Structure 1
Protein backbone atom coordinates (compact mmCIF):
# COMPACT_ATOMS: atom_id res chain seq x y z
CA UNK A 1 0.00 0.00 0.00
CA UNK A 2 1.30 3.45 -0.94
CA UNK A 3 1.38 5.61 2.18
CA UNK A 4 3.84 8.31 1.07
CA UNK A 5 4.50 9.90 -2.30
CA UNK A 6 7.68 11.92 -2.77
CA UNK A 7 8.09 14.20 -5.77
CA UNK A 8 11.02 15.43 -7.79
CA UNK A 9 10.79 19.15 -8.63
CA UNK A 10 12.09 20.24 -12.05
CA UNK A 11 9.85 19.06 -14.90
CA UNK A 12 7.78 17.08 -12.40
CA UNK A 13 6.13 19.89 -10.46
CA UNK A 14 7.78 22.96 -11.94
CA UNK A 15 8.44 23.94 -15.55
CA UNK A 16 12.09 24.64 -16.24
CA UNK A 17 11.34 27.33 -18.85
CA UNK A 18 12.07 30.27 -16.56
CA UNK A 19 15.20 28.63 -15.14
CA UNK A 20 16.91 28.11 -18.49
CA UNK A 21 15.66 31.40 -19.93
CA UNK A 22 17.19 33.27 -17.02
CA UNK A 23 20.52 31.55 -17.60
CA UNK A 24 20.38 32.42 -21.30
CA UNK A 25 19.72 36.07 -20.50
CA UNK A 26 22.52 36.14 -17.92
CA UNK A 27 25.03 34.65 -20.37
CA UNK A 28 23.83 36.82 -23.24
CA UNK A 29 22.84 33.81 -25.34
CA UNK A 30 19.63 33.31 -27.32
CA UNK A 31 17.08 31.37 -25.29
CA UNK A 32 16.56 28.94 -28.15
CA UNK A 33 20.29 28.17 -28.19
CA UNK A 34 20.31 27.30 -24.50
CA UNK A 35 17.16 25.21 -24.87
CA UNK A 36 18.62 23.29 -27.79
CA UNK A 37 21.91 22.67 -25.98
CA UNK A 38 20.10 21.43 -22.88
CA UNK A 39 18.25 18.97 -25.09
CA UNK A 40 21.51 17.86 -26.67
CA UNK A 41 23.32 17.17 -23.40
CA UNK A 42 20.24 15.42 -22.03
CA UNK A 43 20.19 13.08 -25.03
CA UNK A 44 23.89 12.36 -24.41
CA UNK A 45 23.28 11.56 -20.75
CA UNK A 46 25.39 14.49 -19.58
CA UNK A 47 24.88 16.94 -16.73
CA UNK A 48 22.50 19.83 -17.45
CA UNK A 49 25.16 22.37 -16.54
CA UNK A 50 27.24 21.16 -19.46
CA UNK A 51 24.87 23.13 -21.70
CA UNK A 52 26.02 26.33 -20.00
CA UNK A 53 29.68 25.33 -20.32
CA UNK A 54 29.24 24.80 -24.04
CA UNK A 55 28.23 28.46 -24.27
CA UNK A 56 30.99 29.65 -21.97
CA UNK A 57 33.79 27.06 -21.68
CA UNK A 58 35.22 26.75 -18.19
CA UNK A 59 32.19 28.39 -16.61
CA UNK A 60 32.08 28.07 -12.81
CA UNK A 61 28.34 27.49 -12.45
CA UNK A 62 28.33 27.91 -8.66
CA UNK A 63 30.19 31.22 -8.88
CA UNK A 64 27.87 32.48 -11.60
CA UNK A 65 24.86 31.41 -9.55
CA UNK A 66 26.16 33.49 -6.63
CA UNK A 67 26.78 36.43 -8.94
CA UNK A 68 23.23 36.25 -10.25
CA UNK A 69 21.82 36.23 -6.73
CA UNK A 70 23.99 39.21 -5.78
CA UNK A 71 22.76 41.08 -8.84
CA UNK A 72 19.12 40.42 -7.97
CA UNK A 73 18.73 38.07 -10.93
CA UNK A 74 18.67 34.80 -9.02
CA UNK A 75 16.13 32.02 -8.71
CA UNK A 76 12.45 32.79 -8.85
CA UNK A 77 9.35 30.63 -8.54
CA UNK A 78 5.68 31.50 -8.52
CA UNK A 79 2.42 29.76 -9.37
CA UNK A 80 2.91 30.34 -13.09
CA UNK A 81 5.89 27.95 -12.97
CA UNK A 82 3.77 25.05 -11.68
CA UNK A 83 2.23 22.51 -14.00
CA UNK A 84 -1.56 22.76 -13.97
CA UNK A 85 -2.11 19.42 -12.25
CA UNK A 86 0.19 20.09 -9.29
CA UNK A 87 -2.07 21.78 -6.73
CA UNK A 88 -5.22 19.73 -7.40
CA UNK A 89 -3.37 16.39 -7.55
CA UNK A 90 -1.34 16.99 -4.40
CA UNK A 91 -4.42 18.17 -2.52
CA UNK A 92 -6.37 15.10 -3.69
CA UNK A 93 -3.57 12.80 -2.52
CA UNK A 94 -3.55 14.41 0.91
CA UNK A 95 -7.33 14.03 1.06
CA UNK A 96 -6.80 10.28 0.57
CA UNK A 97 -4.51 10.25 3.60
CA UNK A 98 -1.27 10.02 1.64
CA UNK A 99 1.79 11.75 3.11
CA UNK A 100 3.07 14.11 0.41
CA UNK A 101 6.75 15.09 0.20
CA UNK A 102 8.70 17.28 -2.20
CA UNK A 103 12.37 16.28 -2.35
CA UNK A 104 14.61 17.13 -5.29
CA UNK A 105 18.03 18.26 -6.42
CA UNK A 106 17.57 21.93 -5.73
CA UNK A 107 19.35 24.70 -3.86
CA UNK A 108 18.57 25.98 -0.38
CA UNK A 109 17.04 29.05 -2.01
CA UNK A 110 14.76 26.87 -4.14
CA UNK A 111 13.52 25.20 -0.97
CA UNK A 112 12.60 28.59 0.45
CA UNK A 113 10.79 29.54 -2.75
CA UNK A 114 8.87 26.26 -2.82
CA UNK A 115 7.71 26.76 0.77
CA UNK A 116 6.54 30.23 -0.20
CA UNK A 117 4.09 28.71 -2.68
CA UNK A 118 2.08 27.18 0.19
CA UNK A 119 1.58 23.89 -1.63
CA UNK A 120 -0.56 21.10 -0.12
CA UNK A 121 2.38 19.02 1.09
CA UNK A 122 3.73 17.70 4.39
CA UNK A 123 7.47 18.15 3.83
CA UNK A 124 9.66 20.13 1.42
CA UNK A 125 13.39 19.38 1.30
CA UNK A 126 16.20 19.93 -1.18
CA UNK A 127 19.58 18.40 -1.83
CA UNK A 128 21.14 21.72 -0.88
CA UNK A 129 19.54 21.50 2.56
CA UNK A 130 20.39 17.83 3.04
CA UNK A 131 23.95 17.98 1.77
CA UNK A 132 23.39 15.01 -0.54
CA UNK A 133 21.90 14.73 -3.99
CA UNK A 134 20.26 12.22 -6.29
CA UNK A 135 21.11 9.63 -7.45
CA UNK A 136 23.02 8.90 -4.22
CA UNK A 137 21.49 6.26 -1.94
CA UNK A 138 21.86 8.70 0.97
CA UNK A 139 19.33 11.03 -0.62
CA UNK A 140 16.66 8.34 -0.81
CA UNK A 141 17.45 7.22 2.73
CA UNK A 142 16.70 10.78 3.82
CA UNK A 143 13.38 10.55 1.97
CA UNK A 144 12.59 7.43 4.00
CA UNK A 145 13.52 9.24 7.20
CA UNK A 146 11.18 12.17 6.61
CA UNK A 147 8.42 9.91 5.28
CA UNK A 148 8.14 8.00 8.54
CA UNK A 149 6.51 5.09 6.72
CA UNK A 150 7.94 1.72 5.56
CA UNK A 151 10.33 1.92 2.62
CA UNK A 152 8.13 -0.13 0.27
CA UNK A 153 5.14 2.09 1.07
CA UNK A 154 6.95 5.12 -0.43
CA UNK A 155 6.53 6.03 -4.08
CA UNK A 156 9.06 8.37 -5.68
CA UNK A 157 7.82 10.27 -8.74
CA UNK A 158 10.12 11.93 -11.25
CA UNK A 159 10.92 12.52 -14.90
CA UNK A 160 14.62 11.65 -15.08
CA UNK A 161 15.25 7.88 -14.87
CA UNK A 162 18.91 8.14 -13.89
CA UNK A 163 18.07 10.45 -10.99
CA UNK A 164 14.60 9.25 -10.07
CA UNK A 165 13.09 5.88 -10.96
CA UNK A 166 16.29 3.83 -11.16
CA UNK A 167 18.01 4.97 -7.93
CA UNK A 168 14.68 5.08 -6.06
CA UNK A 169 14.02 1.45 -6.97
CA UNK A 170 17.60 0.51 -6.05
CA UNK A 171 17.01 2.09 -2.63
CA UNK A 172 13.95 -0.10 -2.08
CA UNK A 173 11.25 2.50 -2.85
CA UNK A 174 8.50 2.17 -5.42
CA UNK A 175 9.02 4.32 -8.52
CA UNK A 176 6.85 6.15 -11.04
CA UNK A 177 8.31 7.66 -14.21
CA UNK A 178 6.47 10.78 -15.34
CA UNK A 179 6.25 11.35 -19.07
CA UNK A 180 6.84 15.11 -18.85
CA UNK A 181 9.59 17.45 -19.99
CA UNK A 182 12.53 16.46 -22.22
CA UNK A 183 13.86 13.70 -19.97
CA UNK A 184 10.44 12.24 -19.25
CA UNK A 185 9.43 12.00 -22.88
CA UNK A 186 12.81 10.91 -24.19
CA UNK A 187 13.17 7.89 -21.92
CA UNK A 188 9.57 6.93 -21.10
CA UNK A 189 9.67 3.88 -23.36
CA UNK A 190 13.28 2.90 -22.71
CA UNK A 191 13.54 -0.78 -21.67
CA UNK A 192 15.37 0.06 -18.45
CA UNK A 193 12.61 2.48 -17.43
CA UNK A 194 9.86 0.02 -18.29
CA UNK A 195 11.68 -2.74 -16.40
CA UNK A 196 12.44 -0.59 -13.34
CA UNK A 197 9.54 1.80 -12.80
CA UNK A 198 6.44 0.36 -11.16
CA UNK A 199 4.34 2.83 -13.15
CA UNK A 200 4.78 5.15 -16.13
CA UNK A 201 2.30 8.01 -15.85
CA UNK A 202 1.27 10.97 -18.02
CA UNK A 203 -0.21 13.18 -15.29
CA UNK A 204 0.00 13.58 -11.53
CA UNK A 205 -3.72 12.82 -11.47
CA UNK A 206 -2.83 9.26 -12.51
CA UNK A 207 -1.38 8.80 -9.03
CA UNK A 208 -4.90 8.72 -7.58
CA UNK A 209 -5.51 5.47 -9.43
CA UNK A 210 -2.07 4.20 -8.39
CA UNK A 211 -2.93 4.78 -4.73
CA UNK A 212 -6.37 3.23 -5.12
CA UNK A 213 -4.89 0.15 -6.74
CA UNK A 214 -2.04 -0.31 -4.33
Structure 2
Protein backbone atom coordinates (compact mmCIF):
# COMPACT_ATOMS: atom_id res chain seq x y z
CA UNK A 1 0.00 0.00 0.00
CA UNK A 2 1.33 3.45 -0.89
CA UNK A 3 1.78 5.90 1.97
CA UNK A 4 2.40 9.64 1.90
CA UNK A 5 3.30 12.22 4.54
CA UNK A 6 4.00 15.94 4.45
CA UNK A 7 7.61 16.94 5.19
CA UNK A 8 8.61 20.09 7.06
CA UNK A 9 9.36 21.95 3.83
CA UNK A 10 5.96 21.09 2.33
CA UNK A 11 7.16 18.39 -0.06
CA UNK A 12 5.45 15.01 -0.04
CA UNK A 13 7.30 12.01 1.38
CA UNK A 14 6.38 8.60 -0.02
CA UNK A 15 6.71 5.03 1.17
CA UNK A 16 5.41 1.51 0.66
CA UNK A 17 3.52 0.32 3.74
CA UNK A 18 2.85 -3.38 4.28
CA UNK A 19 2.21 -5.89 7.03
CA UNK A 20 1.13 -5.28 10.60
CA UNK A 21 2.70 -5.21 14.04
CA UNK A 22 5.68 -3.40 15.56
CA UNK A 23 7.04 -1.06 12.88
CA UNK A 24 10.26 -1.32 10.88
CA UNK A 25 11.36 1.56 8.66
CA UNK A 26 13.57 0.66 5.69
CA UNK A 27 15.91 3.13 3.97
CA UNK A 28 17.13 1.68 0.70
CA UNK A 29 20.63 1.98 -0.81
CA UNK A 30 21.72 4.06 -3.74
CA UNK A 31 20.68 3.30 -7.31
CA UNK A 32 17.35 2.04 -5.98
CA UNK A 33 13.83 3.14 -5.09
CA UNK A 34 13.13 0.58 -2.37
CA UNK A 35 12.24 -2.24 -4.75
CA UNK A 36 15.42 -4.20 -4.01
CA UNK A 37 14.25 -4.66 -0.41
CA UNK A 38 10.89 -6.17 -1.37
CA UNK A 39 11.89 -9.74 -0.49
CA UNK A 40 13.22 -8.75 2.92
CA UNK A 41 10.05 -6.76 3.56
CA UNK A 42 7.87 -9.73 2.55
CA UNK A 43 9.67 -11.93 5.07
CA UNK A 44 9.18 -9.40 7.87
CA UNK A 45 5.61 -8.34 7.04
CA UNK A 46 3.80 -11.29 8.70
CA UNK A 47 5.01 -10.03 12.10
CA UNK A 48 5.79 -6.37 11.46
CA UNK A 49 4.55 -3.25 9.79
CA UNK A 50 7.30 -2.67 7.23
CA UNK A 51 7.53 0.80 5.71
CA UNK A 52 9.98 1.25 2.83
CA UNK A 53 10.68 4.94 2.31
CA UNK A 54 11.21 6.02 -1.30
CA UNK A 55 14.19 8.23 -0.59
CA UNK A 56 13.82 11.82 -1.71
CA UNK A 57 17.06 11.75 -3.70
CA UNK A 58 15.70 9.01 -5.96
CA UNK A 59 12.33 10.62 -6.67
CA UNK A 60 12.23 11.78 -10.34
CA UNK A 61 9.00 13.69 -9.62
CA UNK A 62 10.85 16.08 -7.28
CA UNK A 63 12.69 18.58 -9.45
CA UNK A 64 15.20 21.25 -8.55
CA UNK A 65 18.75 21.19 -7.20
CA UNK A 66 20.07 17.95 -5.67
CA UNK A 67 18.83 17.57 -2.12
CA UNK A 68 21.01 17.47 0.97
CA UNK A 69 21.14 14.62 3.46
CA UNK A 70 19.26 16.88 5.89
CA UNK A 71 16.43 17.22 3.37
CA UNK A 72 16.35 13.44 2.99
CA UNK A 73 16.09 13.15 6.76
CA UNK A 74 13.06 15.50 6.72
CA UNK A 75 11.23 12.96 4.53
CA UNK A 76 12.30 10.07 6.76
CA UNK A 77 11.04 11.84 9.87
CA UNK A 78 7.76 12.77 8.19
CA UNK A 79 7.08 9.11 7.41
CA UNK A 80 8.31 7.93 10.82
CA UNK A 81 6.09 10.45 12.61
CA UNK A 82 3.09 9.34 10.57
CA UNK A 83 3.76 5.70 11.48
CA UNK A 84 4.38 6.50 15.15
CA UNK A 85 7.30 5.26 17.21
CA UNK A 86 9.08 3.58 18.63
CA UNK A 87 10.37 1.68 15.60
CA UNK A 88 13.45 -0.03 14.25
CA UNK A 89 15.15 1.65 11.31
CA UNK A 90 17.05 -0.53 8.84
CA UNK A 91 19.34 1.40 6.52
CA UNK A 92 21.46 0.03 3.70
CA UNK A 93 24.57 1.66 2.25
CA UNK A 94 23.92 5.41 1.81
CA UNK A 95 20.47 4.75 3.30
CA UNK A 96 22.26 3.70 6.48
CA UNK A 97 23.99 7.07 6.64
CA UNK A 98 20.59 8.73 6.30
CA UNK A 99 19.41 6.45 9.11
CA UNK A 100 22.28 7.62 11.33
CA UNK A 101 21.34 11.24 10.71
CA UNK A 102 17.68 10.48 11.49
CA UNK A 103 18.72 8.83 14.76
CA UNK A 104 20.61 11.99 15.69
CA UNK A 105 17.79 14.30 14.63
CA UNK A 106 14.87 12.52 16.33
CA UNK A 107 16.07 9.85 18.75
CA UNK A 108 12.67 9.43 20.42
CA UNK A 109 11.20 7.89 17.25
CA UNK A 110 13.61 4.96 17.17
CA UNK A 111 14.13 2.00 19.49
CA UNK A 112 17.01 0.49 17.54
CA UNK A 113 18.73 0.30 14.19
CA UNK A 114 20.30 -2.12 11.74
CA UNK A 115 22.96 -0.41 9.64
CA UNK A 116 24.14 -2.43 6.66
CA UNK A 117 27.55 -1.16 5.51
CA UNK A 118 27.08 2.63 5.57
CA UNK A 119 29.76 4.38 3.46
CA UNK A 120 30.14 7.20 5.97
CA UNK A 121 33.14 9.47 5.74
CA UNK A 122 35.75 8.55 8.37
CA UNK A 123 38.79 10.22 6.80
CA UNK A 124 39.50 11.22 3.19
CA UNK A 125 36.37 12.16 1.17
CA UNK A 126 34.69 9.46 -0.89
CA UNK A 127 35.28 11.52 -4.02
CA UNK A 128 38.98 11.94 -3.34
CA UNK A 129 40.77 14.89 -1.71
CA UNK A 130 39.87 17.19 -4.60
CA UNK A 131 36.46 15.71 -5.46
CA UNK A 132 37.73 14.44 -8.81
CA UNK A 133 35.58 11.29 -8.71
CA UNK A 134 32.42 13.37 -8.36
CA UNK A 135 33.46 15.71 -11.14
CA UNK A 136 34.14 12.86 -13.57
CA UNK A 137 30.87 11.12 -12.71
CA UNK A 138 28.88 14.35 -13.07
CA UNK A 139 30.53 15.04 -16.40
CA UNK A 140 29.52 11.58 -17.61
CA UNK A 141 25.90 12.19 -16.54
CA UNK A 142 25.90 15.58 -18.27
CA UNK A 143 27.20 13.91 -21.44
CA UNK A 144 24.33 11.39 -21.37
CA UNK A 145 26.58 8.50 -20.35
CA UNK A 146 25.07 7.06 -17.14
CA UNK A 147 26.90 3.77 -17.65
CA UNK A 148 30.25 5.52 -17.58
CA UNK A 149 29.19 7.45 -14.47
CA UNK A 150 28.31 4.22 -12.68
CA UNK A 151 31.55 2.60 -13.78
CA UNK A 152 33.46 5.51 -12.24
CA UNK A 153 31.38 5.28 -9.05
CA UNK A 154 31.69 1.52 -8.59
CA UNK A 155 35.39 1.42 -9.44
CA UNK A 156 36.64 4.53 -7.59
CA UNK A 157 34.22 4.80 -4.64
CA UNK A 158 32.75 1.34 -4.05
CA UNK A 159 36.15 -0.08 -5.06
CA UNK A 160 34.85 -3.00 -7.01
CA UNK A 161 37.39 -4.76 -9.24
CA UNK A 162 37.74 -3.20 -12.68
CA UNK A 163 35.95 -6.06 -14.43
CA UNK A 164 32.96 -5.80 -12.05
CA UNK A 165 32.75 -2.02 -12.50
CA UNK A 166 32.83 -2.54 -16.27
CA UNK A 167 29.88 -4.92 -16.05
CA UNK A 168 27.91 -2.40 -14.01
CA UNK A 169 28.72 0.26 -16.58
CA UNK A 170 27.45 -1.95 -19.37
CA UNK A 171 24.30 -2.99 -17.51
CA UNK A 172 22.99 0.38 -16.31
CA UNK A 173 22.31 1.92 -19.76
CA UNK A 174 20.30 -1.15 -20.79
CA UNK A 175 17.74 -0.79 -17.97
CA UNK A 176 15.52 2.32 -18.07
CA UNK A 177 14.98 2.27 -14.30
CA UNK A 178 18.76 2.20 -13.68
CA UNK A 179 19.38 4.99 -16.18
CA UNK A 180 16.84 7.16 -14.36
CA UNK A 181 18.41 6.48 -10.96
CA UNK A 182 22.04 6.99 -11.97
CA UNK A 183 22.12 10.82 -11.53
CA UNK A 184 20.79 10.41 -7.99
CA UNK A 185 23.58 7.97 -7.17
CA UNK A 186 26.24 10.47 -8.27
CA UNK A 187 24.69 13.20 -6.10
CA UNK A 188 24.19 10.74 -3.23
CA UNK A 189 27.92 10.19 -3.08
CA UNK A 190 28.67 13.91 -3.18
CA UNK A 191 26.14 14.57 -0.40
CA UNK A 192 27.89 12.09 1.90
CA UNK A 193 31.13 13.99 1.40
CA UNK A 194 29.31 17.25 2.17
CA UNK A 195 28.35 15.76 5.54
CA UNK A 196 31.98 15.13 6.38
CA UNK A 197 33.10 13.16 9.43
CA UNK A 198 30.16 12.83 11.83
CA UNK A 199 31.43 10.22 14.28
CA UNK A 200 31.23 12.61 17.25
CA UNK A 201 27.53 13.19 16.55
CA UNK A 202 26.86 9.47 16.19
CA UNK A 203 28.51 8.78 19.55
CA UNK A 204 25.36 10.20 21.15
CA UNK A 205 23.06 7.55 19.64
CA UNK A 206 21.91 5.61 22.69
CA UNK A 207 19.82 2.76 21.26
CA UNK A 208 20.91 -0.76 20.30
CA UNK A 209 22.51 -0.71 16.85
CA UNK A 210 23.42 -3.78 14.81
CA UNK A 211 26.31 -3.09 12.44
CA UNK A 212 25.74 -5.53 9.61
CA UNK A 213 28.37 -6.50 7.07
CA UNK A 214 29.42 -9.23 4.68
CA UNK A 215 32.78 -10.93 4.64
CA UNK A 216 32.93 -10.55 0.85
CA UNK A 217 32.31 -6.81 0.81
CA UNK A 218 35.05 -4.30 -0.07
CA UNK A 219 37.40 -3.93 2.89
CA UNK A 220 36.80 -0.20 3.32
CA UNK A 221 33.15 -0.87 4.25
CA UNK A 222 34.32 -3.04 7.13
CA UNK A 223 36.68 -0.27 8.21
CA UNK A 224 33.77 2.16 8.33
CA UNK A 225 31.78 -0.29 10.47
CA UNK A 226 34.81 -0.59 12.76
CA UNK A 227 34.86 3.19 13.17
CA UNK A 228 31.18 3.21 14.09
CA UNK A 229 31.65 0.32 16.52
CA UNK A 230 34.26 2.34 18.38
CA UNK A 231 31.92 5.30 19.02
CA UNK A 232 28.41 3.84 19.30
CA UNK A 233 27.75 2.95 22.95
CA UNK A 234 25.39 0.03 22.24
CA UNK A 235 26.71 -1.46 19.01
CA UNK A 236 26.85 -5.12 17.99
CA UNK A 237 28.73 -6.37 14.93
CA UNK A 238 27.13 -9.11 12.79
CA UNK A 239 29.04 -10.57 9.85
CA UNK A 240 27.21 -12.53 7.15
CA UNK A 241 29.46 -15.31 5.88
CA UNK A 242 29.72 -15.65 2.12
CA UNK A 243 27.86 -12.38 1.50
CA UNK A 244 28.77 -8.96 0.20
CA UNK A 245 26.98 -5.66 -0.19
CA UNK A 246 23.89 -7.20 -1.82
CA UNK A 247 22.80 -9.78 0.74
CA UNK A 248 19.33 -8.20 0.80
CA UNK A 249 18.78 -9.72 -2.66
CA UNK A 250 21.03 -12.79 -2.45
CA UNK A 251 20.22 -13.87 1.11
CA UNK A 252 17.10 -11.93 2.15
CA UNK A 253 16.30 -14.50 4.84
CA UNK A 254 19.58 -13.73 6.62
CA UNK A 255 19.01 -9.99 6.50
CA UNK A 256 15.38 -10.34 7.63
CA UNK A 257 16.46 -12.57 10.52
CA UNK A 258 18.93 -9.96 11.80
CA UNK A 259 16.33 -7.20 11.64
CA UNK A 260 13.60 -9.36 13.14
CA UNK A 261 15.83 -10.43 16.03
CA UNK A 262 16.61 -6.85 16.97
CA UNK A 263 12.96 -5.83 16.62
CA UNK A 264 11.90 -8.63 18.96
CA UNK A 265 14.32 -7.33 21.59
CA UNK A 266 13.54 -3.61 21.45
CA UNK A 267 9.95 -3.18 20.26
CA UNK A 268 6.86 -3.73 22.41
CA UNK A 269 4.34 -6.24 21.13
CA UNK A 270 1.58 -4.59 19.16
CA UNK A 271 -1.77 -5.79 17.93
CA UNK A 272 -1.16 -6.56 14.21
CA UNK A 273 -4.61 -5.12 13.44
CA UNK A 274 -3.58 -1.72 14.81
Q: TM-score surpassing 0.5?
A: no
For normalisation by structure 2, the TM-score amounts to 0.30
Structure number having the greater strand percentage: 2
For normalisation by structure 1, the TM-score amounts to 0.36
